[in-house]
Structure 1
Amino acid sequence: MGTITFLLVLSFLVFFHELGHFLAARYFGVKVHVFSIGFGKKLYAKEYKGTLWQFALIPLGGYVKMKGQDDTKPGLVEEGNDSYNNKTPLQRIVILFAGPFANFILAAILYFVIALAGSNSLSPTIGNVQENSPAQKAGLEVGDVVVKINDKEIKTWDEIGAYIVSSQGALKFFVQRENKVLVKIINPHISDAQNIFKENIKKRMIGISPAPKIVTIYHNPLSALTYAWDKTIESSKMIFMGVQKLIQGIIPSSEVGGVISIGKVISDASQSSIVALLAITALISVNLGVLNLLPIPALDGGHIMFNLYEIITRRKPSDKVFMYLTLAGWMILASLMLLGIYNDINRIFLKGE
C-alpha cells in the first residue's frame, strides 16, 4: 500500500509540474505533442486536442514535448508560430518557470487545506527548565503553558522561540499554571545553540524546552491564506539553504536522500494521517520546485540560464556548447540520483533505520 501511495503522490506532483509548462506553452500558442507522466514505454495513451496524453512505464518523472524543443537536438528548428524555438527568450523563460511555479502553487494549496483541516504543532507547554537559566530565575516551572508574551498571543511552541529571537530587552511572559495566569518578567541571554543544519550559532534564549504535547490549530479562510503563504516561503527558504549548505560541505553528502527515502517518508505519513500525508506532499512539491530552478543544464533552471544568456548577448549559445553543458547536467543529475540511492540503501537496509 505504501508503494502505491508513493507512486500516486509522485505522479500527482509530476502532473502539476508538467501542467504548469503545458498551460504556459499553450498560452503562448506553442503546440504540445506529448504530455507524459513517466518515462519509457507507453502504458496508456489518448490524444486530445492535438496532444498525446500518456502514462509511461517508469513513473519517476514526466515531460511535455513541445514543437521546436528537443534537448538531444539543440539545433532543431521547426517552422511556424506554434514552435517553441520561435518564441522570444522571455516567453520561453515563462514557459520554463511555469513548471516549478506550479509546484509552489500546489504546495500553497495543500498548506491552505491543512490549515482549514487543522494543523498540528507542539503545544506551548514547558517540558523542561534549565538550571540557572533566565526562565528558572523568573520562576517558570515544568507544566506551565505560555499563553502570551508581551502583546503577542501564543498558540504554538514555535511562536515562543520566534518571538524571543526577534525581540529585544526583557519580556513579559503570561503563563497558565493550573487555573491561574501568572506574569513573569524574563530577560533572555545570548547562548550557544545549533540551527537545523547543525551549525553552531548564538541566539537569545531563556532556557526552556517543550513538553511532548501536540495542539491542533484551526484557521479561518483568511488566516489559512496567511498560513499557506508563510509555510510555502518558509519551506522554500529551508530547501534553498539546504542546497547551499550541501554545496558548501556543511551538510555531508551522506545526508542526500533518494527515491527510496522519499517513498518511505510518504508511506509513513500515509499511515499516520491524511494531514501528515498532505504536509509531506506539500514539502516535496516545494522541493521539486526549488531543485528544478537550480542552474543545472537539463533542468528548467539551466534552460532559463541559456535564455538569459541569449537576452544579454543577443545570440543563442552554440549547439556544441549547449550539448556539452546538457550532457554535463545529465551526468550531475545521474550522479546525485545514484548517491541518493546508495545513501538510502546504506541508511535503511544496512543501518536498519
Structure 2
Amino acid sequence: MSFIVSLLVLSALIFFHELGHYFAARAMGVYIETFSIGFGRKIASFHKWGTEWKLALFPLGGYVKMKGQDDSDPSKKSYDIDSYNVKTPSQKIFILLAGPLANFVLAFFLYFIIALGGPNILSPVIGEVVKDSPAFVAGLETNDTIRSINGVEITTWKEMAEIIEKSEGSLNIELERAGYIHFITLMPKITQTTNMFNEVIEKKMIGIGSAGVSHKLELNPGETLSYATDQTIQASTLIFTGLKKLIVGEVPAKELGGVISIVKLTSDATDAGWMSVLFFAALISVNLGVLNLLPIPALDGGHIMFNLYELILRREVSEEIMIKLTIAGWVILFSLMGLGIYNDINRLIG
C-alpha cells in the first residue's frame, strides 16, 4: 500500500508540473499533441481538447509534447501558427517557467493544508544533557522545559536553538521543572557538530538534546499564510544550497539520492501518517521545481538558457550546437540518475 501511495504522490507532482506547461502553452496558442504521465509503452489513453492524454508504463516522469518541439531530435521543427517554434523567446520562456512555477504553487498549497491541520513541531523539552557541557554545569536536567531566554518567550525547540546560536554573552534561562519555575544563567560554548549535509561546522551550543516531545501549532489565518510561504521559501533555499554544495564538492556525490530513495522515503512518510506524506510531497514538489530550473539542455532550465541567448543576441543558437548540447544534457541527466540509483542500491544493501 505504501509503495502504491509513493507512485501516486510522484505521479501527482509530475502531473502538476506538466499541467503548468500545458496551460501556459495553450495560453500562448501552442497546439499540444500529447500529455503523458510516465515514459515507455502506453498503458491507457484518451483524446480530449485535441490532445492525447496517456499513462505510460514507467510513471517516474512525464512530458508535454508541443507541436514543433522534440527533445529527442531538435532539428524537427514546425513553423505553423500554432507551433512552439514560431513563438517569441519571451513566450517560450513563459511556457518553460510555468512547469517549475506549478510545483512551487503546489508546494505552497500543500504547506497551507498542513498549516490548517495544525502541524506538529518540537517542544523545547530537554532530553539528553551532555556531560561537562554548559547545560550540565549549570544544572539543567532531562525533562526540563525552557520557557524563555533573556526575556524572550520560547514555544518551540527551533526558536530556542536559533536564540542560542545568535546569542552574545550569557543566557538567562527560565525553565519549568516538575511544576516549579527555575532561573539559570549559563554561557554557550562554540562546539563542533554536523549539519543536515553531514558537514562539520562550529556553532554556539549549550549541550542539550531534544526529548522528542511535540505539540500542534495553532495558527490564525494570517499565520497560516505566513507558515506556507516560509516553508516554501525554506524548502527552496535548502534544495538550492544542497545543489550548490554538491556541485562544488562540499557534499560528496555519495549523498545524492535517486528515485529509489524518493519512493522509500515517501513510503516511510506514508507509514508515519498523512501529515508526513503532505510534508514530503511538498518538499519533493519544490525539489522538482528547482531541479528543472538547472541549466541542463534536457531540462526546462536548459531551454530557458537557449531562449535567453536568442532574446539577448537576437539570433537562435545554431542547430548543430543545439543538438550537441541537447545530447550532452541527456548524458548528464542520465548520469546523475544512474549515480542516484547506484547510491540508493548501496544504501539498501549497506
TM-score category (smaller protein): over 0.9
Partner of 2:143: helix, strand, or coil?
Answer: coil
Alignment deviations for residues 60-110 of structure 1 (CA, whole Å, 9 cap, x no partner): 111111122222332444234422112221221111111111111111111
Map 1:142-221 → 2, pairs under 5 A: 142-221=142-221
Instruction: Tell me the TM-score normalised to structure 2 length.
Output: 0.93
CA distance in 2, matches of 1:21, 1:151: 50
Structure 2: 5+ residue stretches without partners: none
Identity of aligned residues (%): 55
Q: Counterparts of 1:132 and 1:255 in 2: how far apart (Å)?
A: 33
| Residues 149, 260 of structure 1: alpha-carbon distance in 2 compared, 3 angstrom cutoff | same
Alignment-derived partner of residue 66 in structure 2: 66
Q: 1:283 offset after TM fit, Å?
A: 1.1
* Structure 1 counterpart of 2:234, one-letter code: E
User: What is the CA-CA distance between 1:265 and the residue it aligns to?
Assistant: 1.1
Amino acid of the residue matched to residue 285 of structure 2? S
* Cα distance per residue 1:166-197 (max 9 Å; x no partner): 34343332222222333334433333232222
Matched, 1:18 2:13: no
Q: Equivalences for 1:100-111 in 2 at 5 Å?
A: 100-111=100-111
TM-superposed CA distance for 1:215, in Å, is 2.4
- 1:252 and 2:242 aligned: no
Instruction: State how far apart, in whole Å, the 2-side matches of 1:131 and 1:59 are.
Output: 51
CA offsets per residue over residues 106-158 of structure 1, 9 Å max, x none?
Answer: 11111111122121222210112334433344443221111223454322212
Alpha-carbon deviation of 1:11? 0.8
Matches of 1:222 and 1:150 in 2, distance apart?
A: 27
Asked if structure 1 preserves the Cα contact closer than 8 Å seen for 2:109 and 2:228, the reply is yes
Distance 2:151 2:87 in 1: 54
The 2-side partners of 1:6 and 1:143 are apart by 37
Which consecutive segments of 4 or more residues in structure 1 shift more than 4 A?
none
Which stretch of structure 1 is more off in the superposition, 325-334 or 181-190?
A: 181-190
Q: Secondary structure at the match of 1:317?
A: coil
Equivalent in the alignment of 2:307: 307
Is the Cα contact below 8 Å between 2:199 and 2:251 reproduced in 1? no
Q: Deviation of residue 302 (structure 1)?
A: 0.8
Q: Secondary structure at the residue paired with 1:96?
A: helix
| Deviations 1:189-243, CA, capped at 9 Å, x for gaps | 3332322222222222222221132323232332121111111111111111111
Matched, 1:319 2:319: yes
Residues 120 and 214 in structure 1, CA contact (< 8 A), matched pair in contact too: yes
Measure, in 1, the Cα distance between the counterparts of 2:3 and 2:143. Answer: 41
Give the distance between the partners of 1:205 and 1:233, measured in 2 at CA: 26
Aligned residues: 350
Give distance in 2, aligned partners of 1:28 and 1:163: 49
* In structure 1, C-alpha distance between the alignment counterparts of 2:153 and 2:68, rounded to whole Å: 56
Farther off after superposition, 92-101 or 336-345 = 336-345
Distance 1:183 1:304 in 2: 58
31 and 212 in structure 1: CA distance in 2 versus 1, 3 angstrom threshold: same
How far is the alpha carbon of 1:303 from its aligned partner? 0.8
Deviation at 1:339, TM superposition (A): 1.6
Deviates more, 1:258-267 or 1:178-187: 178-187
Counterpart CA distance in 2 for 1:76 and 1:44 is 27
Q: Considering only aligned residues, what root-mean-square deviation do their CA atoms show, in Å?
A: 1.9
Q: Distance in 1 between the 2:289 and 2:25 partners?
A: 18
Question: What letter corresponds to residue 172 of structure 2 in structure 1?
Answer: K
- 1:299-349 Cα offsets, whole Å, 9 max, x none, are 01111111111122211111111111111111111111222222222221x
Looking at structure 2, the residues matched to 120 and 260 of structure 1 have their Cα atoms a distance apart, in angstroms, of 27
| Structure 1 counterpart SS, 2:209 | strand
> Is 1:145–1:176's contact at 8 Å kept on the other side of the alignment?
yes
What is the distance in 2 between the residues matched to 1:239 and 1:18?
Answer: 21
Contact 1:2 1:263 in 2 (8 A): no
2: CA distance, partners of 1:33 / 1:26: 11
Gaps of 5+ in 1: none
Q: Are the aligned partners of 1:34 and 1:64 in contact in 2 as well (CA < 8 Å)?
A: yes
Per the TM alignment, residue 3 of structure 1 is displaced from its structure 2 partner at its CA by: 2.4
- 1:286 match: 286
**Structure 1 contact 134–206 (Cα < 8 Å) conserved:** yes
- Whole-angstrom distance in 2 between the partners of 1:119 and 1:83: 46
SS for the counterpart of 2:324 is helix
CA distance in 2 between partners of 1:327 and 1:316 (Å): 18
Distance 1:66 1:117 in 2: 39
TM-score, structure 1 normalization: 0.93
What secondary structure is seen at the aligned counterpart in 1 of 2:70? coil
193-202 vs 13-22, which deviates more? 193-202
